[in-house]
Chains A and B, each alone.
Chain A
Amino acid sequence: MTLLLPLFIVLPLFAACLAGAFFWLKKPGAELLTNLVAAALFAAAVGLYFFRPFNTLMIYDLSGWLPPGGSHLILDGLSHLHILVANFVAWLVALYSVAYMRKYTNRTGYYALLLLLVTGINGVILTGDFFTLFIFLEIAALSAYALVAFGNRRAEIEAAFKYLILGETASLFILIGIGLVYATTGTYDMAKVSQSFPADASAVKAAILVLFLAGFGMKAALVPFHAWLPDTHASAPSPISALLSGVIIKTLGVYALIRILYNVFGMTGQLSLVLMVLSGVTIILGGLLSIGQNDIKRLMAYSSISQIGIIVAGLSLGSPLGIMGGIFHSFNHALIKPMMFFNAGAIYRATGTRDIRKMGGLFFRLPVVSASSIVGSLAISGLPPFNGFWSKMFVIVAAAQTGNLFLAMVIAIGSILTLASYLIFLTGAIFGRPNGEVNERTPWLIALPIVILAGCCFAVGLFVPFISQYLLNPAVVSVFNGTGYGKLMGGN
């Protein structure tokens, strides 16, 4: 069953080539193809849970069919959870795009780019090798630049330009870091690096960590490096905003950072402190900035920054509960935020505006969207019984347990700020006096992914023990295994 691993990269790539062929032949069909491929990948990600024995690694050796060199694809608890979430969200995005993208021309190109983006994301998650990581990072990033610019109006172009410059700078920081790793150990293989990084090269190690922190921090939009996020999330087409916020900042940023910090170099007290400070600033600043926004997508984008802060805060604590809380919050955010961006897209379609001041009283006019907006707002602010409550509670409890009461307080304040900003959205847009026009009812193809995600928010909140046993614990085990990751690979 290890053969399923390269499938996650080869299938979307092959489909992207097919979509490219459709593009040249000017034939439709890319829509259906993308949906089928995304659904198949999600099914494969679920299916792999039945084939991978609990808490074991699945390794696919690429050197067999592409000599020379020993690149691996690795599936452990952490990458499995991420591949599941990424392909689930990608599938819903493909579903949502069918109706939403009708208003755009050149849809075949859109689907080709979307498939390439999925290729890059899956590659980043599965690879066990630094250079391959960089290449898939670039595949994902370059297609993301083009997708952000897809509407081709002024706002989109400006956002894409900013994203391009900052994203390329981040990629280059990462590449220098990778170069330094190679110069010290002579290999790109993560497992080998974790085993053979010389103990006396502390100056080089510090430089590598600074570079990775800056590079992946920029991809994850931690606070000093967050400038690109609100612009891109607000300007991109709504399905792409959902994918950016739900998947890309987490896989390209947080997942890669955690994999490298925990499994390759090993977490240290200093590093943990740096991450804690960064995440604390991120939580507060993201929350404060989200309150003043009138554009609903911008409000959600700033709230994404705040949530990324909570995820990193959980992961920086270094205790099992903290790591579990961080990963769980990343999982929940990947369910809630795409739903909120889908809602924003549906509201934009129906009212023609994203400005809260120009809308109001949508509750009876757009019932599905309004109901799921309420669910999403409560879930992301951490109110019971939704999923967000549990993950935030885990992180806060873990922070208190490890003696970081200040961080626990910061997270609680951040939650209040998030709640405040979403209440502004709810009272302004969903409730209140009817304001503005509603031109269409929500089509069922747009409502379906929203309803699925809202159902997931409920279900995850209700079945926390199940989720934590089968999805989160294996991920925590692989993170907590630290540099033992390399030993598990059999030292190869």
Chain B
Amino acid sequence: MLEGIIFVAVICAAAAVEAKDLKLSTYALGGVGACLALAFLTFESYFFAAFQLAVVSAIVYVLLLVQKRQKIVRDDQPRSSVWNYLAALAFAGFAGTAFFPALAALPDPLQVKYTETLRTFDVVGMLIVVCVAAVAISSLFKARKHKDKR
């Protein structure tokens, strides 16, 4: 079950990165987020599954809004240079050799029984992060004009 969900998420992610149509790409990203909500559901955290879904919809909504406002439709940029692909490949190889032993040593997700979860303090912290974003956006739009140009 869990493997299936992650597999769908990987397919969605590949589609999101490679799609030429950016609307499709955004919806695919929403699909990745929805898979995450399903993963929460697998572990019977119903409230957090709903919460995750709500946040993902908000993210997709914001991105679509940006697309509509800025008339961003397609990704028609030419391919980047071969070196970028090689760097990505080298990085993947390095990460793979570093992490496969570590991943093998981790416990089976279905057997994990740690009970400690996020503390109220951290949740408050995350709410602060959202406030930061709100102030940041206002500054990005409202601080645009200088009293003098330099």
Contacts and interface: CB of A to CB of B under 8 A. Distances in A.
Interface of A: 13, 16-17, 20, 23, 62-63, 66-69, 71, 102-106, 109-110, 112-113, 116, 119, 123, 131-132, 135-136, 138-139, 142-143, 145-147, 149-152, 180, 182-184, 186-188, 201, 203-204, 206-208, 210, 352
Interface stretch (B2-10, B39-47, B75-83, B123-131): B123-131
Interface string B71-104: 0000000000000000000000000001101101
Contacts of B69: none
B142 A183 contact: no
Given A71-B119, A151-B143, A183 B99 contact: no
A150 B140 CA distance: 7
B102 A180 contact: yes
B135 A113 contact: yes
A139 B122 contact: no
Contacts of A207: 98-99, 101-102
A206 B137 CA distance: 39
Contacts of B147: 102-105
Contacts of B54: none
Nearest to A176: B99
A325 B104 CA distance: 40
Nearest to A143: B132
21 contacts: A20-B135, A63-B119, A66-B121, A71-B122, A102-B147, A103-B147, A104-B143, A106-B138, A109-B138, A110-B139, A131-B119, A131-B122, A135-B129, A142-B133, A142-B136, A143-B132, A146-B137, A150-B139, A186-B116, A203-B104, A206-B98
Contacts of B133: 142
A116 B128 contact: yes
Given A71-B121, A206-B102, A119 B128 contact: yes
B118 to A, nearest CB: 7
B139 A109 contact: yes
B110 interface: no
Nearest to B112: A183
Task: Sort A-B residue pairs by CB-CB distance and give the 9 closest, nearest first.
Answer: A146-B136, A69-B119, A207-B102, A203-B101, A135-B125, A106-B143, A109-B139, A66-B120, A186-B114
